[in-house]
Amino acid sequence: MSVAKRIIPCLDVNDGRVVKGINFIELKDAGDPVEIARSYNEQGADELTFLDITASSDDRGLLFDIIEKVANQIFIPLTVGGGVRNCDDIRNLLNSGADKVGINTSAILNPNFVSESSSRFGSQAIVVAIDAKKVDDHYEVFTHGGRNATGIDAIKWAKKMADFGAGELLITSMDRDGTKTGFDNKLMRSISNTVDIPIIASGGVGTLKHLVDGVKEGLADAVLAASIFHYGEYSILEAKKYMHQHGIEMRL
């Protein structure tokens, strides 16, 4: 017996509404974050992740509203990522009811932001998101949805972020994202074997078997998925049962 592997659905938020993840079930109000969060909670989601894709930073207030509404009614861990630039952003998100924040580009621009924020808010609140892509025979960190190379080795970066106080790492393979061909388990395994903190695998899930592979081959502690849940292909409970049948400890 040990800690269960987690399934985390990821929801995209724009201007205060959920814009991806709205087709999976008959909802009265398809974009209502509370209704969606409640539905995922009832299906057995272990955590929820909101990714803010709002283009204009003026509309940030709407995101806080969403987090607040969800946190008032749904009592599982909430992670919020997207556009987190400084400690004030983190403070505001936590005050709205988020439990963890995802930091990506800002960590690359200033790695000390990770150590500073984890010592201020606790490492349990800091998730460092790493977008990696295969370049020749190694993995490199990319930004801007995989368009901009940073020249940073992804495995070394993961180690550095763990040393700087990240509580967990969200690893997305930009090669696999959106392809439905499964996680890049070599990437996941290399990082999981390098750090002691939990890692969340992301990018490429198309079938339930991919989730099992992410844990067994990628050694992920949690799996993040969007489209397979959003479009009703599988419910979270189905996914958990399938993983459990394949010998993985799950919360059922």
The SS3 assignment for 81 reads strand
Query: Which is catalytic among the residues 52, 131, 177, 213?
Result: 131
Q: Which position among 30, 34, 94, 237 is part of the footprint of another protein (CB under 8 A)?
A: 94
Binding segment (CB under 8 A) for another protein, from list 55-63, 115-123, 179-187, 208-216: 115-123
Least CB distance to another protein at residue 146 (A): 27
Least CB distance to another protein at residue 244 (A): 13
- Measure the CA–CA gap between 47 and 187, rounded to whole angstroms: 23
Q: Which position among 171, 197, 223, 239 is part of the footprint of another protein (CB under 8 A)?
A: 197
Four-point Cα dihedral 45, 227, 23, 105, nearest 10: 80
Does residue 12 have an active-site annotation?
yes
Do residues 245 and 237 make contact, with C-beta atoms less than 8 angstroms apart?
A: no
Residue 133 binds to another protein (criterion: CB under 8 A): no
Burial degree of 131 (CB within 10 A; 0-12, 13-18, 19+): buried
Binding segment (CB under 8 A) for another protein, from list 31-39, 90-98, 138-146, 231-239: 90-98
Residue 222 binds to another protein (criterion: CB under 8 A): yes
Q: Please name which of 246, 242, 247 lies closest in space to residue 207, comparing C-alpha atoms.
A: 242
Does residue 137 have an active-site annotation?
no
182: Cβ–Cβ under 8 A, 6 or more apart, which residues?
176, 204, 205, 206, 207, 209, 210, 213, 214
The letter for the amino acid at 218 is G
Four-point Cα dihedral 21, 25, 28, 30, nearest 10: 10
Task: Please work out the total of residues on this chain that contact another protein, with binding judged by CB under 8 A.
Answer: 34
Q: Which is nearer to another protein, 162 or 187 (CB)?
A: 162
Q: Which is nearer to another protein, 8 or 107 (CB)?
A: 8
Residue 221 binds to another protein (criterion: CB under 8 A): yes
Residues that are catalytic:
12, 131
Q: Please give the residue ranges that form the binding site for another protein (CB under 8 A).
A: 1-6, 41, 46, 71-73, 75-77, 94-99, 119, 121-125, 167-168, 196-198, 221-222, 251
